[in-house]
Structure 1
Amino acid sequence: MMYSLWLGLGLSVMLLASFSAVSGAPNLVCFYDSQGFQRQGLAQFTMTDMELALQFCTHIIYGYAGVNADNSELQSINKRLDFEQRHLAQFTALKDRYPHIKFLLSVGGDADQNEGNQYIKLLESGQQGHRRFIESARDVVRRFNFDGLDLALQLPRNKPRKVHGDVGSAWKSFKKFFTGDYIVDEDSETHKGQLTALIKDLSSAFKANNLLLSLTVLPNVNSSWYYDAPAIEPSLDFINLGTFDFLTPQRNPEEADFSAPLYEAFGQNRLGHYNVNYQLEHWLLQRVPAHKLNIGIAAYGRAWKLSTGSGDSGMPVVAAAEGAAPAGRQSKQEGMLNWAEICQLMPNPSNANAKGADAPVRRVLDPTKRYGSYAFRAADSNGEHGLWISYDDPDSASSKASYVRSKNLGGVAFFDLTQDDFRGQCTTDRFPMLRAIKYRLL
């Protein structure tokens, strides 16, 4: 029986790969947060789970390596996992069974907490520091048999600001932005030039070794400040746009709103750049070829705690939120719930009579497919257990994949495999979001 299972899986892999090659289907770049391997219980992501996911991916990106602030070299940020437990080697060993998939190593990705500004230090380290980073990155990539490197550099983020309210307050927000009150890096123009030089030199070194180089633009990093798109595009094989987390309970604790809308959500004076389409158009207007751009889709949602002052309608923008909702039992991170956790909060026989924090949420669908769904539970009379979640589900993820197809883009970057319902806790199919994206891209 086990032999039949693996034979069927192998045939599925070959068929999907063949179909993709013939149809010229867009890429599906799958990010893998290696911390998922160390989680406990239902949240633990095993190599068996990985093998099931790989039948849908064209690229798989291992997260994450970091940068040594003292010498600018690429380094492991979890030596016990990467080296002692040989997880890096186990990961790339899968290349033998999945030769049609490209395996990359990502550096940064908000996982590198060893230093506060090591990425700015890297940019400022000059030719000598750049050379040390390039040589160390190339050595690690080649030693562990990766096909390339992904730069998910942790650059300074836009300052969060309250964007809703009356017209006057919205105008003040824009005015502050353009007059410099929200500048987070006075040397951003210099850093842009330094980053351009680093990417060009890194690309030259990698191409000489037949290695790939990609760029991941993390959420809320101002692309205009740091990326000279026309200059760096020829050096990159593809670019992943982190088009989610536009608003989060950490950055916007008092107001709950869509965290990853496809298009601008009009009304209530929202800022016009907090959406997928705006971010994409920025890169297209910089003459970056559409086929090099991948749209990022998150397998998790952002969750706010609601108060009695938030009301009971749930319609965004929701005022009087009280920051991040409590961490989920699996994801264990305040203000974030993975898709399996969100799905299990929807009304179902197991929670029909549940109360308090286990009570079901009300799901509100988006028939326009423009903004995304949300779910909420109004606070009770004691001001407790209020919850508001913005998220992508398999349906909205599929709609974004259709958007990718309609724009003739490079594909989708999926963040990440360990946040999908990879155990099938809500459906009979494991990885429902990954599947929905893949089948719409075919």
Structure 2
Amino acid sequence: MWSNLVVKLILLTGLINSIYCQSPPRVVCYYDSRSSLKEGIGKVLPSDILPAISMCTHLVYGYAGIKAEDFKVAPLISNEELDPNNGLYRQITSIKTQYPNLKVLLSVGGDADGNSPDKYLALLESSTARIAFTNSVNVILKQFNFDGLDLAFQFPKMKPKKVRSTIGSIWHGFKQTIGAAGKPVDENSEAHKNQFTSLVVELKNSFRIDNYQLGITVLPNVNATLYLDVPSIKNYVDFVTIAAFDVYTPARNPKEADYVAPTLSVTDRNVEENVDFAATYLIANGLAGTQIVVGLPTFGRAWKIEKDATITGAPPVAANGPAPEAVQTRTQGLYSYPEICNMLLNDQNVNLKGEHAPLRRVPDPTKRYGTYAFRLPDANGGYGVWVGYEDPESAGNKASFVKGKGLGGVAVFDLSTEDIRGSCTGGQIKFPILQKIKEKLK
């Protein structure tokens, strides 16, 4: 029996390797155009990401939105994006003149379109709205020479985990038993699933004459089982990207810091909150492994931690909301990779105290959970920080997982929070996370 099993495993490994030889894995690089509006070192223009493009098979421009009044695609920053000569759309697609094999997609949604959030479901519910959306997409793609669309659809999100007392946990369990633990996130999810299938089919059929690609991005904390009819859409999408991060964030989980992007299941956590579960679910429902792209972040989520935090920093850790903003991202609880790496212990900060004291990095030898770093509170209970993030090592581990499982590639969210200047290595290595991903996918 064991000899037969070994033979089967060898054959399976050979099949996975042959797939990778026949079809090179995708490296999907996202560019969040909102970074073009920032000041100082946070400002990232299309010209700043050029050194990364040779490592990308796809470049995704994020994000366009939907107009609530007519359901047509619209720019989210300003109409200047649509300048036919030097707007951001044109700057991004013009990169193909230097990299003719690059595929440049326009992404719609992406949790960036905050106005009238109900319009996404309203779009699905109206065939007239879907036609207007589809027609407007085709106009934009053709006008600006995009190669396709990334549908990062803004479905309702799952409710965040609550930190409960023992009595609260017992009461919540009782309410679940009697069916009174709260309304579902979407009471019409079955209808919306069918309508989303219709949208995908309609888009892909409209794309065939121009051979545009169609990708779907499953955004963080969206329950794919509610909205993706995988058997019905698998032949109409080129790939599905799992944005497999932000499982925990300071905004959703202010009282508890935890791993933000685990690859495999974490003990005593929801078994569904990891990359492996999401990919296995899609494959079990008929999507080819080579159609699945695993998204990972180039940023970290950071919490303030309290006096009673464990001395090892091992999560879950009691927290008190988002950590203070840093100089690049200018957002509480959100740090770019170069911001994080420069907070880690080094010769310049080893003797600093208070808010400038170094963070201790804790790697993940198991390759299951990801990297985190932390600084315990001082004697007065201040300046404690816990941050979960990806670094080149953990990103490389994730890329190795993707290759070993026979998946279709890795997506990087996004280039603007990567180490574009090489500050983590004294200017020697730019885009180190992307470089490690590319290396491990070979």
Normalising by the residue count of structure 2, what TM-score does the alignment of the two structures yield?
A: 0.90
Q: What is the CA deviation profile of residues 143-171 of structure 1, one whole-angstrom value per residue up to 9, with x for unaligned ones?
A: 00000011001110000123788799499
Provide the C-alpha distance between the structure 2 equivalents of 1:358 and 1:329, rounded to a whole number of angstroms: 13
Deviating more after overlay: 301-310 vs 425-434? 301-310
Conserved in 2, the CA contact under 8 Å of 1:163 and 1:270? no
1:351 aligns with 2:352: no
1:89 aligns with 2:62: no
Conserved in 1, the CA contact under 8 Å of 2:163 and 2:256? no
Shift of 1:174: 11
- How many residue pairs match? The answer is 419
1:161 aligns with 2:161: yes
Partner of 2:271: 272
Q: What is the CA deviation profile of residues 7-32 of structure 1, one whole-angstrom value per residue up to 9, with x for unaligned ones?
A: xxxxxxxxxxxxx9977431101111
Deviating more after overlay: 142-151 vs 325-334? 325-334
1:297 aligns with 2:296: yes
1:218 aligns with 2:219: yes
Conserved in 1, the CA contact under 8 Å of 2:49 and 2:420? no
Unaligned runs of 5+ in 1: 1-19
1:376 aligns with 2:377: no
Partner of 1:63: 62
Q: What is the CA deviation profile of residues 53-91 of structure 1, one whole-angstrom value per residue up to 9, with x for unaligned ones?
A: 101000000000000111111111122441356111111
Alignment CA distance shift 1:95-1:184 (3 Å): same
Conserved in 1, the CA contact under 8 Å of 2:163 and 2:255? no
Shift of 1:377: 0.6
Shift of 1:94: 1.3
SS for the counterpart of 2:187 is: coil
Provide the C-alpha distance between the structure 2 equivalents of 1:305 and 1:147, rounded to a whole number of angstroms: 42
1:231 aligns with 2:262: no
Q: What is the CA deviation profile of residues 78-114 of structure 1, one whole-angstrom value per residue up to 9, with x for unaligned ones?
A: 2244135611111111111111110000000011122
Conserved in 1, the CA contact under 8 Å of 2:109 and 2:152? yes
Partner of 1:432: 432
Conserved in 1, the CA contact under 8 Å of 2:46 and 2:88? no
Mapping of residues 8-407 of structure 1, within 5 Å: 24-84=23-83, 86-124=87-125, 126-162=126-162, 169=169, 172=172, 176=176, 179=179, 181=182, 183-266=184-267, 269-319=268-318, 321-407=319-405
Normalising by the residue count of structure 1, what TM-score does the alignment of the two structures yield?
A: 0.90
SS for the counterpart of 1:250 is: coil
Conserved in 2, the CA contact under 8 Å of 1:159 and 1:182? no
SS for the counterpart of 1:262 is: coil
Shift of 1:211: 0.8
Shift of 1:243: 0.6
SS for the counterpart of 2:151 is: strand
SS for the counterpart of 1:52 is: helix
Shift of 1:208: 2.2
Q: RMSD between aligned alpha carbons?
A: 2.2
SS for the counterpart of 1:426 is: helix
Q: What is the CA deviation profile of residues 181-201 of structure 1, one whole-angstrom value per residue up to 9, with x for unaligned ones?
A: 251111111111111111101
